[in-house]
Amino acid sequence: MSASKEEIIAFMAQEFPQVGYKVERVYENGAILSREIGTNELRPGGTVSGPVMMSIADVAIYIAILGRIGIVPLTVTTSLSINFLRRPSSQARIIADCTLMKVGRTLIVGEVSLYSEGSDDMVAHVVGTYSVPPSSVTHRHDETTAVKSAL
């Protein structure tokens, strides 16, 4: 039921070609992404913009979920909260390290730690919740009903 890194990369290239992130790793409960930083990602003052950091975190959660439940395109963000902790480097890639905290039948919660490449100091902490479409969830109720009907 899960999707491989290669399947996710192919899906993202087809459906979200505008997304400029590199999928570094996908595992059972998470994913690691990176993004190059250039002048287009900076805000006045020379720091990485908040929308760039929120975006990579949001995509990291989405990719971690796809790695866990398979390619379910209509899985969508229902909430995203970010705490900016320190100024990220404008000279280093942003690294997003996502861990899925709760995988429910219709809601999945993920946590993302953002870093400037080469530093162990977290630049932002993100928590997001995604909604999974009901049609993509295997319901134990359906299995139970089928067994009862057969009796």
CATH of the domain at 25: 3.10.129.10
For residue 20, name the pLDDT band (cuts at 50, 70, 90): confident
- What is the signed CA dihedral for 123, 48, 128, 2, rounded to 10 degrees? -100
Q: Which residues pair with 113 in a beta bridge?
A: 97, 125
**Stretch (H or E) spanning 41:** none
Structure pTM? 0.87
For residue 24, name the pLDDT band (cuts at 50, 70, 90): very high
Higher pLDDT, 17 or 33: 33
Tell me the pLDDT tens digit for each residue of 101-118: 999 999 999 999 999 999
Tell me the pLDDT tens digit for each residue of 54-92: 999 999 999 999 999 999 989 999 999 999 999 999 999
Report the C-alpha gap between 7 and 81 in whole angstroms. 28
Q: How does strand 30-35 pair with strand 76-84?
A: unpaired
Is the Cα torsion angle 99, 2, 55, 25 positive or negative in sign?
positive
3-state SS class at 148:
helix
What DSSP state is assigned to residue 121?
Answer: S
The reported pLDDT for the residue numbered 26 is 97
If you average pLDDT over residues 6-32, what whole number do you get? 94
Per the structure, how many domains does the chain have? 1
Domain containing 56: what range?
5-150
